[in-house]
């Protein structure tokens, strides 16, 4: 099948087909939001960055043992460009894939994937349950607290920031802002007061 540029609608349909769990969908929207925000800030292709963010964990629900590997098969079947597949698969470098993040897009995806989880947990302990008032320092305060968001591997985020040559504060700030733009769809707009 010839490669064609996938649309957001196609990416969304695939996501919904393979990810029925609400939390996984929300994670995909969060990563998409952050990737879009950073792409826009850097003058890159927002649509491409967002779409890759949306499908990066496509196989995780149905094929947890083949995470990263199966995504490649699923997207290839649909004729997705290798550039998109490589980027999606590289997010699991050292965990479920051997594809090293090389492009700026890939490095950002690698760096912010785990970070979105830390921002979610930081938002959920606030009285507002909202990402709208999460600050960089609140996220940093929990950096060394291993019991807080225990599943989030801080060393991956640090490694990603190092590859990008971007400071942690800036990376956290971008991640919060990107998630604020999609707060509604990730359920972090806050509780009405
Ligand atoms: Fe993943
Ligand atoms: Fe992910």
Residue 3's nearest CA partner among 81, 113, 69 is 81
- Cα(64) to centroid(ligand 1), Å: 9
Residues around the ion ligand 1 (C-beta < 5 A): 57
- Cα(126) to centroid(ligand 2), Å: 23
**54-75: string of b/e by CB count within 10 Å (b at 16+)?**
bbbbbbbeebeeebbebbbebb
**What band does 117 get if pLDDT is binned at 50, 70 and 90?**
very high
Residue 2 has what pLDDT? 60
Digit-coded pLDDT (tens) for 32-90: 999 999 999 999 999 999 999 999 999 999 999 999 999 999 999 999 999 999 999 99
Residue 4 has what pLDDT? 86
Tokens of 146: 């291993």
Tokens of 21: 């769990």
Residue 191 has what pLDDT? 77
- Cα(146) to centroid(ligand 2), Å: 20
Residue 92 has what pLDDT? 96
- Identify which ligand lies nearest to the alpha carbon of 24: 2
Is 140 buried (19+), middle (13-18) or exposed (0-12) by CB count in 10 A? Answer: middle
Q: Is the entire prediction scored with pTM above 0.75?
A: yes
């Amino acid at each position: 099948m010839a490669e064609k540029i996938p649309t957001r609608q196609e990416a969304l349909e695939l996501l919904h087909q393979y990810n029925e769990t609400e939390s996984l969908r929300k994670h995909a929207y969060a990563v998409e939001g952050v990737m879009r925000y950073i792409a826009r800030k850097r003058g890159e292709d927002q649509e491409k960055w967002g779409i890759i963010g949306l499908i990066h964990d496509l196989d995780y629900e149905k094929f947890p043992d083949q995470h990263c590997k199966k995504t490649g098969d699923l997207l290839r079947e649909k004729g997705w460009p290798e550039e998109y597949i490589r980027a999606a698969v590289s997010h699991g470098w050292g965990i479920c894939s051997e594809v090293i993040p090389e492009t700026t897009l890939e490095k950002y995806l690698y760096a912010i994937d785990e970070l979105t989880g830390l921002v979610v947990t930081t938002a959920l302990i606030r009285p507002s349950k909202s990402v709208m008032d999460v600050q960089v320092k609140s996220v940093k305060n929990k950096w060394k607290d291993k019991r807080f968001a225990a599943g989030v591997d801080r060393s991956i985020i640090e490694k990603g920031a190092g590859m990008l040559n971007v400071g942690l504060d800036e990376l956290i700030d971008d991640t919060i802002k990107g998630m604020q733009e999609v707060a509604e769809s990730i359920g972090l707009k806050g509780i009405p007061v």
